[in-house]
Structure 1
Amino acid sequence: MTTANPSTASESSAPAPHLAGNFAPVRDELTAYDLPVTGTIPPELTGWFLRNGPNPRDVVTPHWFFGDGMVHGLRLEDGRAVSYRNRWVRTATFTDGVPVVDEQGRRNLRAGVANTHIVRHAGRTLALVESSFPYEIDCRPGHELETIGAHDFGGRLTTAMTAHPKTCPTTGELHFFGYGGPQPPYLTYHRADAAGELEVSRPIDVAAPTMMHDFHLTAAHVIFMDLPVVLDLNRRGMPYGWEPEYGARLGVLRRDDPYGEVRWLSIDPCYVFHSLNAYDDGDQRIVLHVARYAEYGDNSPAHLWRWTIDLVSGTVAEEQLDDQLCEFPRIDDRLAGLPARFGHGISGEFPGSGPVPGALLRYDLHSGTVARHDFGPGRTPSEAAFAPADGRPGGPGWLLSYVYDASTDSSDLVILDAEDISAAPVATVHLPQRVPYGFHGNWLPDPAG
């Protein structure tokens, strides 16, 4: 066990909302084996469930987004919960205090907190934050969740990398972008091949440095969201703010012409942290599903919306699909960029929101129906990742989520049958410490063979 540095926060002062309750960090890095289980873990699940999120070492941070990254990992094998461990991502900022921006205003892409997502591509497991390079994490036996170091694609990556890259299920390519610099180019599109070699880096002209957290990929297109949350380095704390007068638009780029024209289409001012999925509907229409906020701010809820781009008329039809709170939307990632019938999201607590009934939602995007799993009083889920049961994309599988129980100040891994989420959990793995609310993760099955 490794114990973090003691808190520098005042014990007598009330913590900020993003440092209170289950947003508060845990102080210990633990390793525990043979965890107790209620129910039966599906024996098909052999691999890691990894979830990343902010866990500030010194406890004092001005915003939820700024805490040091900590990966929580649960190892499943042959129907057993073999081990749990949590480890800080040891970036240059964590180990040596290297700032992202120095006193001369120069940006260090090897610094940062790597606290937002964790993905696997071309044999590498990468912890991501959108301000910096990714950091590679070691998941080999005996090296579980140790930090290897910053990954810059052999020196070819010269911008930050989004925390929401998309892997094309057909080509194996990894599509992503970098944004966030105070000087142009404010946006750069990147593509790596299936072997992890960076082969496209193309600047895209936008008017200002907006906060572009996510984007969309289809079989034929890449779609960027240039939305009115704009960088202003004079702001204290969070440097991005809501500026609706900037306008909102979607930028469409053909995948077969990565250096070609980006076509911009206007939409109503709004903000989107997370896309659910996107796909081409014939040659002239693109359908996008997003968790949409009417505006950017602590008290604005997100709901599931559909945007339909008409490439002939150059217009976007916008439609709200549900009135339930919905964030952290996910699909079976083997259908990324393709027509996926089912999507999942959660209704849960966010800093300053107060208690919210914790639920997981399953959207049938064909019929428009919504199934719901309520976790019970005081039990709140984090983002749910889909774990397939077989090789059929869109087929059966399970939803895995860390669930916090306020009555016991503890967390479980809950496994639900994705095709019957209203039913009781298939299995609940009881963890040795709580998992603070965080951001994103994945089920990473062991490679075949």
Structure 2
Amino acid sequence: MTTLAPHLLGSYAPVPDEITVTELPVTGAIPPELSGWYLRNGPNPHEAASAHWFLGDGMVHGVRLERGTAVSYRNRWVRTTTFTHGAPLRDDQGNADLTAGVANTHVVRHAGRTLALVESSYPYELDCRAGHELETIGAYDFDGRLRTPMTAHPKTCPVTGELHFFGYGGPSAPYLTYHRADNRGELTISRPVDVSAATMMHDFQLTAGHVVFMDLPALYDRTRAGTGMPYVWAPEHGARLGVLRRDRPYAEVRWFTIEPCYVFHTLGAYEESDGERLILHAIRHDRLGDGVDINGRTSLWRWTLDLVTGTVREEQLDDRRAEFPRIDDRLTGLPHRYGHASTANGPDGGAIHRYDLRDGTVTSHRFGPGRAPGEAAFVPADDTPGGPGWLMTYVYDAATDRSDLVILDADNLTAPPVATVHLPRRVPAGFHGNWLADV
């Protein structure tokens, strides 16, 4: 008898098909000013098998809200060339096919395009027009200018509208390339960054005047290629944070050594003292196992980089096990007081935590036994960055084997949900998403 891997069982198990269901039941009241899509991406192998949780075919799950009603739920696979006809990431000679991949990690909007992302490949554009919702348009390479993969965690500057991102991967240098697209979506900067080895760089951060890279000791191991996640934990490689000035995008990157650790996801970054200090908040993993085993300890940490003295201070801010941190994206690169992260499972079920980075307190919404939230996206309630808003997340209920879209008041997190949209099926545990308001 075949024993399935844990990432193919329970709340992780893939769903077998695509459905569309309208007129969803709601407990509570959806704020009437919300009109748009809540979209979340995640792995859903269409053959119901994958070597690692990170490797399943991308499926986007969307709930459409309009003027206080839950209009519909739909789920669609992202039809990459790997999904449609099994295209491999690399051929027998090691040549990369950047249109191949699973597009399973994030879904973002920039310059009018909705993009499904995975860090090994090009983004895939999705159609969100009425009557075409979540259909795949095709691979997007910025009109032929992008020649590397694209991170699944790009950052949009709220001041300039520019999209900052990077590409990594491959067995040979350059192992890292920094990219920037303007607010119209035109790729304007692509420059290699000198790093000594092919490390797994999942995320990075932006401040008002700098870009912060993370060169951490998860190293590519070509002997593991084709067997799952081809990375090994190598603390002897060291760990460091790289700082690049935004106004000098081709300048040398300045590196700051930190204690070996791994970071999948940053919360945010900003500057103090007229740009002399950079503050970075992130969820720190004390280590990874080979093949990207993620069973180590995780918690919220802060790194303070002093650009005058060349030193860095590392501080643990909380001891709760958490992941998938988010802020109000309108404060990307700017000072922000609050951040949020999720705990999928705990003694009293899962929780969403609100960190007050100014006074050091934490407020939590607990969902109860057997209920596990995913990442919570912040949805603004008005035009004030850092002002009131809601948190949206899919919550899996083990008792019913179904999921809900839960809307919480971010400023009153201990209160009952503002609204719970009851979905017709389970949304498998996944990765990242966004609220895409109608424009």
Q: How many percent identity over aligned positions? A: 70
The equivalences for 1:263-412 within 5 A come to 263-282=254-273, 283-297=275-289, 298-349=294-345, 357-412=349-404
In structure 2, the gaps of 5 or more residues are: none
Counterpart code for 2:421? V
How far apart in 2 are the matches of 1:170 and 1:366? 23
Among 230, 241, 265, which residue is 1:250 paired with? Answer: 241
**Alpha carbons 2:348, 2:366 under 8 Å: kept:** no
Does residue 237 in structure 1 map to residue 228 in structure 2? yes
How far apart in 2 are the matches of 1:104 and 1:58? 27
Does residue 19 in structure 1 map to residue 8 in structure 2? yes
Deviation at 1:357, TM superposition (A): 2.9
Cross-structure match for 2:405: 413
How far apart in 1 are the matches of 2:267 and 2:217? 20
Deviation at 1:356, TM superposition (A): 7.9
Deviation at 1:233, TM superposition (A): 1.4
Distance 1:356 1:87, change over 3 A: farther
**Alpha carbons 2:180, 2:190 under 8 Å: kept:** yes
**Alpha carbons 1:347, 1:356 under 8 Å: kept:** no
Cross-structure match for 2:180: 191
Does residue 152 in structure 1 map to residue 152 in structure 2? no
How far apart in 1 are the matches of 2:48 and 2:89? 19
Cross-structure match for 2:56: 67
**Alpha carbons 2:348, 2:369 under 8 Å: kept:** no
The equivalences for 1:103-118 within 5 A come to 103-118=92-107
How far apart in 2 are the matches of 1:439 and 1:233? 26
Deviation at 1:237, TM superposition (A): 2.0
Deviation at 1:59, TM superposition (A): 1.5
Cross-structure match for 1:8: none
Does residue 172 in structure 1 map to residue 164 in structure 2? no
Among 410, 435, 439, which residue is 1:443 paired with? Answer: 435
How far apart in 1 are the matches of 2:56 and 2:295? 21
Runs of 4+ in structure 1 displaced over 6 angstroms? none
How far apart in 2 are the matches of 1:408 and 1:421? 24
* 2:7 aligned counterpart, secondary structure: helix
* 1:334 aligned counterpart, secondary structure: helix
Counterpart code for 1:251? G
Deviation at 1:355, TM superposition (A): 8.2
How far apart in 2 are the matches of 1:249 and 1:355? 35
**Alpha carbons 1:49, 1:74 under 8 Å: kept:** yes
Q: Deviation per CA, 1:197-246, whole angstroms, max 9, x where unpaired?
A: 00000000100000000001000000100000000011232101110000
The equivalences for 1:63-102 within 5 A come to 63-102=52-91
Cross-structure match for 1:5: none
**Alpha carbons 1:288, 1:306 under 8 Å: kept:** yes
In structure 1, the gaps of 5 or more residues are: 1-11
Counterpart code for 1:83? S
State the TM-score, normalized to the length of structure 2.
Answer: 0.97
RMSD (Å) for aligned C-alpha atoms? 1.0
**Alpha carbons 2:122, 2:149 under 8 Å: kept:** yes
How far apart in 2 are the matches of 1:261 and 1:13? 52
**Alpha carbons 1:118, 1:127 under 8 Å: kept:** yes
Cross-structure match for 1:214: 203
* 1:60 aligned counterpart, secondary structure: coil
How far apart in 2 are the matches of 1:237 and 1:427? 39
Cross-structure match for 1:161: 150
**Alpha carbons 1:167, 1:175 under 8 Å: kept:** yes
Q: Deviation per CA, 1:284-312, whole angstroms, max 9, x where unpaired?
A: 10000000011113320210000000111
**Alpha carbons 1:348, 1:356 under 8 Å: kept:** no
How far apart in 2 are the matches of 1:356 and 1:417? 20
Deviation at 1:14, TM superposition (A): 2.3
How far apart in 1 are the matches of 2:244 and 2:385? 26
**Alpha carbons 2:406, 2:420 under 8 Å: kept:** yes
Deviation at 1:125, TM superposition (A): 0.2
Aligned positions, number: 432
How far apart in 1 are the matches of 2:3 and 2:348? 21
Deviation at 1:60, TM superposition (A): 1.6
How far apart in 2 are the matches of 1:30 and 1:60? 20
**Alpha carbons 1:279, 1:337 under 8 Å: kept:** yes
How far apart in 2 are the matches of 1:443 and 1:361? 19
Deviation at 1:274, TM superposition (A): 0.3
